[in-house]
């Protein structure tokens, strides 16, 4: 575990750093140039606006943000309980292997338990074997027989 590591809820002052890390995640995942249209203003509104769409945790090492997790509640109609959907969990490449991702995931798990959530769900790109190995080490497994579907909604 990294000395000086702190996991905390994101603050408005963290928005620009989180957006920069989201862009780094998109680059890591080999997204097309310009694929990220997120701005500081859009993330600020999503996190801290009148109707927040999601929450964020940040991992700081010696006061600098080295990783983050973005998540929001979903609902299981079969279980009748909320869940957490993990949109992103990202640690800067130079800080990987120091327990930061594990600390972020442990805090997310703690929050899910505290909120009586039935589960935590997320998506991993097929080729990302380091992430797949990490999630398996946390006790997670892929959902066999299910395929993620998406329908983009054009602007009004």
Instruction: Note if 135 is an active site residue.
Output: yes
Contacts of residue 59, Cβ cutoff 8 Å, sequence gap at least 6 = 5, 6, 7, 65, 66, 67, 68, 91, 100, 103, 104
E strands, 46-116, in order? 55-61, 64-76, 81-91
Residue 15 main-chain phi, psi, to 5 deg: -55, -50
CB 55 within 8 A of CB 73: no
Catalytically active residues are 135
């Amino acid at each position: 575990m990294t000395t000086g590591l702190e996991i905390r809820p994101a603050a408005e002052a963290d928005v620009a750093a989180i957006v920069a890390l989201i862009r780094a995640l998109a680059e890591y995942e080999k997204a097309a140039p310009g694929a990220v249209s997120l701005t500081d203003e859009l993330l600020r509104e999503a996190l801290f606006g009148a109707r927040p769409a999601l929450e964020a945790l940040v991992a700081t090492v010696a006061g600098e943000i080295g990783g983050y997790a973005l998540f929001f509640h979903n609902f299981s109609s079969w279980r009748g309980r909320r869940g957490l959907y993990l949109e992103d969990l990202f640690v800067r490449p130079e800080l990987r292997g120091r327990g930061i991702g594990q600390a972020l995931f442990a805090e997310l798990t703690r929050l899910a338990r505290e909120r009586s959530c039935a589960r935590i769900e997320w998506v991993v790109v097929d080729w990302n074997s380091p992430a797949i190995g990490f999630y398996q080490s946390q006790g997670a497994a892929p959902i066999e027989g299910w395929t993620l579907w998406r329908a983009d909604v054009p602007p009004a």
